[in-house]
Amino acid sequence: MKKIFLILIIMFSIMLTACINGKLSEEEIDKQQSNTNLFKMVSRENYGRILVDKETKVMYWESCSGHTYGILTLLVDKNGNPRIWNG
């Protein structure tokens, strides 16, 4: 039981450090991008971060706080179409 509790604490700590507020340097973004195959993080915002699908360039906002932690929300333009990353 103690091992499971310790593992959960470590996992929670890692998740919290992945969503610290503030803009990232290009070097920090490159480091984090090597850890994921599907998404590329392009910005950190208050309580979340902006992710881009590497294949489709569609933009998502990922929550990094509270009970909504880890939830992805599709970002759309004024016409309701998915926002496409141009960067």
pLDDT tens, 5-15?
Answer: 667 666 666 65
Is 70 exceeded by the pLDDT of residue 36?
Answer: no
pLDDT score at 46? 83
CA 56 vs. chain centroid, Å, equals 16
39: in domain = yes
7: in domain = yes
Which of these, 57, 23, 26, lies nearest to 43 by C-alpha position?
A: 23
Please state the domain count of the chain. Answer: 1
Where does 1-87 have alpha helices with state H? 2-17, 26-33
11: in domain = yes
17: in domain = yes
Q: Which two tokens mark 81?
A: 């179409």
> Does residue 38 or residue 78 have the better pLDDT?
78
